[in-house]
Amino acid sequence: MSRFFSEKYKELEPYTPGEQPKNTVYIKLNTNESPFPPSPRSVEYAKDALRSLHLYPDPTCSALNEKLAATLGVSPDEILVTNGSDDILNFAFMAFCDDKNPAVFADITYGFYKVFATANRIPYVEKKLRDDFSIDLSEYKNVGKTVFIANPNAPTGIAVSRSELEKVIASNPNNIVVIDEAYVDFGAESCVPLIHKYDNLLVTQTFSKSRSMAGARLGFGVGNRELIRDLNTLKYSTNPYNINRATMAAGIGVLEDAEYTETNCKTIIENREFLACELKKLCFCMTDSMTNFVFAKHPDISGGDVYRKLRERGILVRHFDKKEICDYNRITIGTREQMVSLVENLKSILEETK
């Protein structure tokens, strides 16, 4: 870093995104993108929006907000649309955490929570997962801190029920509880229906996974009007035009083409079950994933070796160096053809290790 870099960021360890290859062609199963292109309707809407790029986009995102509100069964003023769900999560750290309200989240979860806390100079506590990687929700009840829970969790893929999460929300009436639902469309229960019951609940979601819009960067938060007003204060103090015209239009197209998204989610879930079955035949151990990925390890070969050997064969998966999970790899669910290719390559790798 330069000698001009502020001292307040000297402890900051930035988030490491998954590898985005630029030259070699890989089967890309490392960043939890959808294997399917976006809805044709969303593409057409985005193309139309390109004709107006000389004008600023609507800072209120009113058309998208109304469409999203109708989809979720909430009011438009109970939603804030952001530049990916990372944006709404960062706003939540900024708005609802400080020295008197530290953050609390799992020690094995979405890596950006720790980055956001550090970048915003917010004290935080990390709670250990159980030995089976499930979250111990008793650790988050009456905790007196701002709670962040990814449900389903990443990279483990494990989900907990809405009724169990509600107990955490109810037990922290004087602190915000943020439920990060990036993967909720692949088999988990959403907490969005609880926002009218609890004024301390903020639910975040994304268009990146189930809605095939990772490249467009679109996310949102859902909560009561007062919470959304708080978050809008930060939005309008940083980047009022945070959603470009093409992304906004594409988002509307996706919401109008719900059947397309539902069909893709169903296919991904089927491919997830297929892959899990095939991996079990190869003696892999896995968590019970409710996401668009599996989290798997093998007793006879390290996670790092699996990652490297797959990469040599043109397949990218996600490996983490953290001690507790270094034997595992997170494998994004792709097309059936990609899953078959992955399994065949894993068979070959395991044969080589005998």
Residue 9's pLDDT is: 85
Distance from C-alpha of 164 to C-alpha of 159, rounded to nearest angstrom: 10
Share of the chain above pLDDT 90, in %: 92
At residue 179, the pLDDT reads 98
Are 273 and 141 contacting, i.e. CB atoms less than 8 angstroms apart?
Answer: no
List C-alpha distances in Å: 259 to 39, 63, 162, 208, 254: 10, 20, 24, 17, 9
pLDDT at 17: 79
Query: How far apart are the C-alpha atoms of 82 and 88, rounded to whole Å?
Result: 6
Contact 286, 294 (CB under 8 A): yes
Q: What is the mean pLDDT of residues 335-354?
A: 95
- Give residue 2's pLDDT: 84
Question: Does the pLDDT of residue 24 top 80, yes or no?
Answer: no
What would the mean pLDDT of 156-177 be, rounded to a whole number? 98
Are the CB atoms for 282 and 334 separated by under 8 Å?
A: no
Whether this prediction's pTM lies above 0.85 is answered by: yes
Mean pLDDT within 141-151: 98
28 pLDDT above the threshold of 70? yes
Q: Is pLDDT larger for residue 178 or for residue 14? A: 178
Instruction: Report the distance separating Cα 2 and Cα 6, nearest Å.
Output: 9
Mean pLDDT throughout 121-147? 97
Give the mean pLDDT of 293-319.
Answer: 97
What tens digit of pLDDT does each residue of 211-268 get?
999 999 999 999 999 999 999 999 999 999 999 999 999 999 999 999 999 999 999 9
Q: How many residues does the chain have?
A: 354
Average pLDDT, the chain: 96
Choose the weakest-confidence range: 19-23, 72-76, 81-85, 247-251. Answer: 19-23
User: Is there a contact between 46 and 253 (Cβ–Cβ < 8 Å)?
Assistant: yes
Task: Tell me how far apart the alpha carbons of residues 88 and 80 are, in angstroms, rounded to a whole number.
Answer: 8
Report, in this order, helix, strand and coil percent for the chain, each rounded to 5.
40, 15, 45
Question: What three-state secondary structure class fits 310?
Answer: helix
39 sits in the region (left: phi over 0; alpha: psi -120 to 50; else beta) called beta
- 332: helix, coil or strand? strand
